[in-house]
Amino acid sequence: MAAGSCSTVRGKILVTGGTGQVGGELAKTLAPLGEIVVPGRAEMDLSHADSVRAAIRDAQPRWIVNAAAYTAVDKAESEPELAYAINAEAVRAIGEEAQLIGAGVIHFSTDYVFDGTGSAPYLETDTTSPVSVYGASKLAGEQALAGSGVPHMIFRTSWVYGAQGKNFLRTILKLAREREVLRVVGDQHGAPTWSRDLAKMAAHVIVQCEAAAEGRPLADALAETIGVYHAGGGGETTWHGFAAEAVRLVRERDPEVQLATIEAIKTSEYPTPAKRPANSRLNCDKLGRRFGWSMMDWHESLRQVLAEL
């Protein structure tokens, strides 16, 4: 069922992280489905659970779509309390408050819940073993949400980017115009995921769940879909491969533009405070089986994002 065919959601949809990449796309993409509530920090401070609870009690939403997160991976190593407050305790508050009012929760998580040592794309059932504070705090959020008892769906994604906000693609294209050579890590494998594709996926899921809830409580319908799903971009590449393809496409569009040469380096040549997973690939077959949704191949999403820049 396409999102556009949905009747209005019978209640409000509260979207957190509205100023972020995914939250911003969600606010626009979900708007045709019903009344969207996007609290700012003054109304909902994710670093304070009491503020989160108050905002939910005030809005009384039917759905909460949590795209907010502490995502400064390296900075989290020196700010673990703040990372856990936003990525775990705020999520616990969301789950508990949603459970009280009978709301459904969609929550976004990350490939960083894995250590990245696996040789195949990760399944939802694979053992989690984060190697960074960021990854550990996101895993704690998943566990807190599940522990709240609320009907929920957790969508783990990877390498999120888009035409807006701070992300790898925009940074690389800026630096490529300023330098002659860019050295980019070439031994971390994953798939870039377009923020808009994630938003469209969430809309598709809500539509299906609302259809299943026709004539019965939403919680009863969601009991059939509770759990973790992987939702990363289709295909796979490396950070170097992503950067090189972006630069190639920009050159293809504008042969006169001067852009850096992209060279591959090893992770060991680019040390960071937080360890990165070498394997960020996610097996997304479960998403297709349950909701009939396939995430966009990263080559295609890259072309579409570049067309907006």
Domain with 149, as residue range(s), is 7-166+193-234+276-297
Indicate the DSSP class of residue 99.
H
Question: Does residue 2 register a pLDDT over 50?
Answer: no
303 lies in some domain: no
pTM: 0.96
Query: Count of domains in the chain?
Result: 1
66 lies in some domain: yes
76 lies in some domain: yes
Mean pLDDT in the chain? Answer: 96
Q: Within the chain, what is the greatest distance between any pair of CA atoms?
A: 62
Indicate the DSSP class of residue 86.
I
Q: What pLDDT band is residue 10 in, cutting at 50, 70 and 90?
A: confident
CATH number at residue 18: 3.40.50.720
**What are the backbone dihedrals phi and psi of residue 282, each rounded to the nearest 5 degrees, phi first?**
-120, 130
75 lies in some domain: yes
Between the CA of residue 149 and those of 97, 130, 262, what are the distances in Å?
A: 10, 24, 48
Catalytic residue among 84, 134, 161, 229: 134
174 lies in some domain: no
- What is the per-residue pLDDT for 1? 35
Question: Could you tell me where the beta strands, DSSP code E, fall in 62-135?
Answer: 63-66, 104-110
Is there a catalytic annotation at residue 134? yes
241 lies in some domain: no
255 lies in some domain: no
